[in-house]
């Protein structure tokens, strides 16, 4: 079954595309401003701010599964509304949806959180991610929503470059 990774040119998306292709899956991916570099993958240009773009990509790529790894940071039009568009289009075509979210939907004021905890974001980014999750849950109830925390990756992530102590390869004093 073909998998489409939206945000395939991003930090997480690049890894997902590489692993899907290496596992022998038929793989398609989207990019926005950069070109994706993984060979053997069908690439599509996508701007989630444009209504209809994602529908056109899904119609052409015809995936069975969509993994949404896009990020517009705190840009509501991409992170919140764009994710709603992905969920609507995936549900319309009967695609399985895996939506990548973030622990930023929580304020961090509690010690423990679980799947039943309601979002209480304190940043514009967290609010956009919480709005996206809410829409995904209602539009595509069978979707998997994956809340990840900081993603590290061999010193290549934005966080590792800006804060060396995040780098798993850096020895702490």
Ligand X SMILES: NC(=O)c1ccc[n+]([C@@H]2O[C@H](COP(=O)([O-])OP(=O)(O)OC[C@H]3O[C@@H](n4cnc5c(N)ncnc54)[C@H](OP(=O)(O)O)[C@@H]3O)[C@@H](O)[C@H]2O)c1
Kind plus residue range of the DSSP H or E element containing 74: none
Residues 6+ apart with CB under 8 A from 47: 32, 53
> Under the criterion CB under 6 A, does residue 126 sit at the interface with ligand X?
no
Smallest gap from Cβ 104 to ligand X, in A, equals 7
Interface with ligand X includes 156 (CB under 6 A)? no
Q: Does 34 sit near ligand X (CB under 6 A)? A: yes
Minimum Å gap between C-beta 85 and ligand X is 9
- Asked if 167 touches ligand X (CB under 6 A), the answer is no
Q: Is 166 exposed, middle or buried (0-12, 13-18, 19+ CB in 10 A)?
A: middle
Q: How far is the CB of 77 from ligand X (least distance, A)?
A: 7
Among 21, 41, 78, 127, binds ligand X (CB under 6 A): 78
Within 10 A of 121 (CB to CB), how many other CB atoms are there? Answer: 17
Distance (Å, whole) CA 90 – CA 63: 9
Task: HSE, CB side, 13 Å, CA atoms: give it for residue 21.
Answer: 19
Tell me how far apart the alpha carbons of residues 107 and 22 are, in angstroms, rounded to a whole number.
37
Q: Which of 3, 4, 12, 57 binds ligand X (CB under 6 A)?
A: 12
**Residue choice 148, 154, 155, 164 for contact with ligand X (CB under 6 A):** 148
Q: Is 2 or 76 the residue whose CB approaches ligand X more closely?
A: 76
Residues that bind ligand X (CB under 6 A): 7, 9-13, 31-34, 46-49, 69-72, 78, 82, 100, 102, 129, 148, 150-151, 157, 159
């Amino acid at each position: 079954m073909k998998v489409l990774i939206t945000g395939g040119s991003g930090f997480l998306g690049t890894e997902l595309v590489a692993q899907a292709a290496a596992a022998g899956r038929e793989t398609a991916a989207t990019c926005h401003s950069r070109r994706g570099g993984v060979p053997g993958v069908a690439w599509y240009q996508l701007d989630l701010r444009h209504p209809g773009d994602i529908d056109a990509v899904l119609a052409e790529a015809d995936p069975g599964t969509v993994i949404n790894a896009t990020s517009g940071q705190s840009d509501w039009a991409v992170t919140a509304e764009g994710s709603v568009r992905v969920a609507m289009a995936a549900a319309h075509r009967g695609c399985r949806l895996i939506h990548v979210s973030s622990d930023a939907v929580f304020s961090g004021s509690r010690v423990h959180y679980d799947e039943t905890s309601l979002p209480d974001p304190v940043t514009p980014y967290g609010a956009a991610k919480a709005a996206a999750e809410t829409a995904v849950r209602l539009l595509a109830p069978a979707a998997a929503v994956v809340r990840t925390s900081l993603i590290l990756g061999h010193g290549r992530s934005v966080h590792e470059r800006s804060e060396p102590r995040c780098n798993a390869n850096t020895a702490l004093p």
